[in-house]
Amino acid sequence: MKENQETEESKSKNFIEQIIEEDLASGKHKEIYTRFPPEPNGYLHIGHAKAICLNFGIKADYHGKTNLRFDDTNPTKEEEEYMDSIKQDVAWLGFDWDRLCFASDYFDQLYDWAVMLIKDGKAYIDEQSGDEISKQRTTPREPGIESPFRNRPVEESLKLFEEMKDGVHDEGSMVLRAKVDMNSPNMHMRDPIMYRILKRPHLRTGDKWNVYPNYDYAHGQSDFIEGITHSLCTLEFEVHRPLYDWFLNQIAKSGESRPRQIEFARLNLTYTVMSKRKLLELVTGGYVKGWDDPRMPTISGLRRRGYTPGSLRLFSERVGLAKRENTIDVGLLEWAVREDLNKIAERRMAVMDPLKVVITNYPEGQIEEMEGVNNPEDESAGKRMIPFGRELYIEHSDFMEDAPRKFFRLAPGREVRLRYGYFITCQDVIKDEDGNITELHCTYDPESRGGNSPDGRKVKGTIHWVAKEAAKAAEIRVYDRLFSVENPSDVPEGGDFKDNLNNESLTVTTAFIEPALAEANAGENYQFERTGYFCVDPDSSAEKIVFNRTVPLRDSWAKKNK
């Protein structure tokens, strides 16, 4: 308790928290209201997790509120499937939204405000092509060219806008533009487009509309309608902020509380591609098996990989928050899941690459039940029984014929502890005609049952094992990074990122597992002693147990001998 208080006090405030506390102190806001506003055009990824934890974290820290809002202003890209997955992901991360909203809820209001802007002479219908409009905006360095329609009569714009809405005009034939400033050095202020014609059914409004608002016209107003106090978004929207404020100035009455947009740097991870476009391409191109493929940096992929909500929250907290570009080492994400899983995952024994061991002085046909601790980090996890017999499997890498002094595991003439079993000493190495090691003959010390010798002698190594008689088989899927390049910005924008893909990102093997693991349920996390954290894949069944490797255990011996 005391410890918690200390960490709470010493926790430094990021720049957004500082702004919020100032707004609270000055009385500008009594209650803080944030929102998480994804467009349902793809699955959420770890970068979104950072934004989710930020927004909902503020809600928790300041006893405020947070909405989940779907920014569904473009019916050509949005799908129901994506909405479902987004809701699932946010809930799975452990957050409750106060309201579930949709930008499309505000289409009527947005339309009325647009009419108001036209009447005020602040918006007009432009009948030029996209190319022409774009050309007239010129470059940031030189002034823009006004549209010939810019100063058309209000009545004309009003009439055309209504006709646009009613479907009289074709897509691309005209747009509604805000009359801001064609000479602004900020391109977004050069008469931005507010509405375009899209004759597509919308997921929620169906065929009601033939015109849809653009992001810039819809977002700030949505925030305003919902009473959002702090609208947090990523850095690339920084240049949109003057426009965000411009629209709010048109619709909000003076003195009325309006949302403030604050930008922060998005998350980048080494060896990880995050752009929705590229992730979509991985899925549609068949490079992965779906959005929730365990190699994907999506929240659903990480979930399937065995990452816990707590690990993602811990990660989000540790990546920090600032306005500078950053690239976080994926190692931090892996550390976060180990940190979480170390406390909660039960330990089991499983042999990935089996080597048969025969204990020559152990009675034939005898099976003993040995007691194993489920989690040394958590006594309440209890104990389990593990069958032991004359023939066992150990990990191939736990034996070395010509072992260096620093090798603490099994080698000819050396004694090791079989965890929760006995001390054994390697007497003979059996090989096939090609010289491959096929079997080890060992002797055991009957006095060392459970792993301690009454004479107090020490062994350096403790290895894991599975009794051959009782072993079950399981499919193990070992995942490696999908991209071989460290810096995600090195992955080209086009579709030709094939060269950067790691072709060995998935390895499937069969392992021998202790019987207790055969009853594991989908989604459960285990630490396979001495190897890594594994999670039961939803593909599992009673006949075929499938484990995904979440993350390997740190292994200083392997690292030194690489």
The residues that are catalytic are 39, 266, 276
The answer to whether residue 109 forms part of the interface with RNA (CB under 7 A) is no
The answer to whether residue 35 forms part of the interface with RNA (CB under 7 A) is no
Which tokens sit at 356?
């048969």
CB contact burial 469-492 (16+ within 10 A = b; e otherwise): ebbbebbbbbbebbbbbeebeebe
Q: Which of 88, 128, 425, 484 binds RNA (CB under 7 A)?
A: 128
CB contact burial 89-112 (16+ within 10 A = b; e otherwise): bbeebebebeeebbbbbbbeebbe
The answer to whether residue 160 forms part of the interface with RNA (CB under 7 A) is no
Q: How far is CA 453 from CA 175, 267, 447, 450, 456, in A?
A: 84, 52, 6, 9, 5
Which CB sits closer to RNA, 298 or 527? Answer: 527
**Least Å distance between CB 253 and RNA?**
26
Q: Which residues from 283-322 bind RNA, rule CB under 7 A? A: 318-322
From 51-59, 236-244, 518-526, 538-546, span contacting RNA (CB under 7 A): 236-244
Could you give phi then psi for residue 247, rounded to 5 degrees? -65, -40
**DSSP-derived secondary structure for 392-442:** EEEEGGGB-TT--TT--SB-BT-EEEETTS-EEEEEEEEE-TT--EEEEEE
Q: What mask of x and - would describe binding to RNA in positions 457 to 496, judged by CB under 7 A?
A: ----xxx---------------------------------
Helix (H, G, I), strand (E, B) or coil at 17: helix
Which CB sits closer to RNA, 293 or 394? Answer: 394
Which CB sits closer to RNA, 197 or 392? Answer: 197
**Least Å distance between CB 103 and RNA?**
7
Q: Which of 102, 209, 212, 271 binds RNA (CB under 7 A)?
A: 212
Q: Which of 137, 202, 384, 390 binds RNA (CB under 7 A)?
A: 137
The answer to whether residue 275 forms part of the interface with RNA (CB under 7 A) is no
Q: Which of 161, 237, 291, 479 binds RNA (CB under 7 A)?
A: 237
The answer to whether residue 15 forms part of the interface with RNA (CB under 7 A) is yes
Work out whether the CA dihedral 280, 285, 290, 294 comes out positive or negative: negative
The answer to whether residue 556 forms part of the interface with RNA (CB under 7 A) is yes
Q: Which residues from 422-451 bind RNA, rule CB under 7 A? A: 450-451
Sheet holding 546-552, edge to edge: 346-348, 525-528, 532-536, 546-552, 472-479, 506-513, 350-351
Tell me the residue ranges of DSSP E strands in 361-401. 368-373, 383-388, 391-395
The answer to whether residue 183 forms part of the interface with RNA (CB under 7 A) is no
**Least Å distance between CB 175 and RNA?**
5
Q: Which residues from 61-100 bind RNA, rule CB under 7 A? A: 71, 73-74, 77
**Least Å distance between CB 239 and RNA?**
5
- Contact (Cβ atoms closer than 8 angstroms) between residue 387 and residue 368: yes
